[in-house]
Structure 1
Amino acid sequence: MKFLVFLSAVALFGHASAFHGQMAASDYLTNEGGVYQNIYLTDYNTRSTYSGYLRGGFNGCSSSGCTLQFSETSAGGYAFYASVWRTSDGCHNIDFQGALDSHHGYCCGSLPCDFTA
């Protein structure tokens, strides 16, 4: 029984700290598809980097999450979908939806900012 409690605690700790890193965003850009931002993630644990194309930018994702695909820009080639949004209090949120063994994380204030998910 004690062993199962220990495994549960290890699983919870691993889940809570699966992603520790930074989220950043480019300035607002425009192309024939409209306004967008590039969203960048840096994983401090693995040193992996990812980027995604957010149509409408964070201004377009304030009331509900916008889904975008992140592609690894460091060696590895991993890609995943996540949902991102900014709340009215200025917090930038990301839901990894299980990718990178992570779930919801957020940071408040301007980007870039550090967070754990």
Structure 2
Amino acid sequence: MLVLAMFKCFWRFPGGEHFTVSIRGREFLQHSGENFHFKFFQYLGSNEFYVGSTFYKNLQLNVPHELGGPGSVAGVHLELDGIDNSRRAKGFVCLERGGDYPKGVIFCAEEKAFSLIAMFDFKNN
């Protein structure tokens, strides 16, 4: 089964530099029990970025859920240039559609590093 994704990210850095990245048709999504996970790795300019996330499949829809650490309903792990910056990025996720093929938005920020807004839409093809 191929999971198609529309994944659009807006990255902003303290010096004002910013990037917009759109990706379609790549496999990002994984399922494990009551959770779904997706991972994204990208080179932007001279830097490499990694975002990994875990969410409960059945989060209440259209409600912002605060990102937390392990065991919380939603979490995001950020890395810049291979350095493990944060496993507990501050921010929120809001799902428009849950279940096995979620759709929603994530906002998160790592103090003095970067901020990210990611819109995602996973579809079963």
What is the TM-score with the length of structure 2 in the denominator? 0.48
CA RMSD of aligned residues (A): 3.9
Structure 1 73/29 Cα, relative in aligned 2: closer, same or farther at 3 Å? farther
Structure 1 position 110 matched with structure 2 position 122: yes
Gaps of 5+ in 1: 1-10, 112-117
Q: Which runs of 4+ in 1 moved over 6 A?
A: none
- Structure with higher RCO (Cα < 8 A, 6+ apart): 2
Closer, same or farther: CA 18–65 of 1 in aligned 2, 3 Å: farther
Q: 1:27 aligns with which of 30, 36, 40?
A: 30
Identity of aligned residues (%): 8
Alpha-carbon distance, 1:66 to partner:
4.0
Tell me: CA distance 1:92–1:20, structure 2 relative to 1, closer, same or farther (3 Å): same
The code of the aligned residue for 2:31 comes to Y
Residue number in structure 1 paired with 2:5: none
Q: What are the Cα deviations for residues 21-80 of structure 1, in whole angstroms up to 9, with x where unaligned?
A: 66x7523321xxxx11123233441222232332x13x4152222411415397212114
Closer, same or farther: CA 26–61 of 1 in aligned 2, 3 Å: farther
1:14 maps onto 2:16 in alignment: yes
Please state which structure has a larger fraction of its residues in helix: 1
Larger radius of gyration: 1
Structure showing the higher strand proportion among its residues: 2
In structure 2, stretches of 5+ residues that fail to align are 1-12, 68-74
Deviations 1:1-30 (A, max 9, x none): xxxxxxxxxx99926x266466x7523321
TM (norm. structure 1) is: 0.51
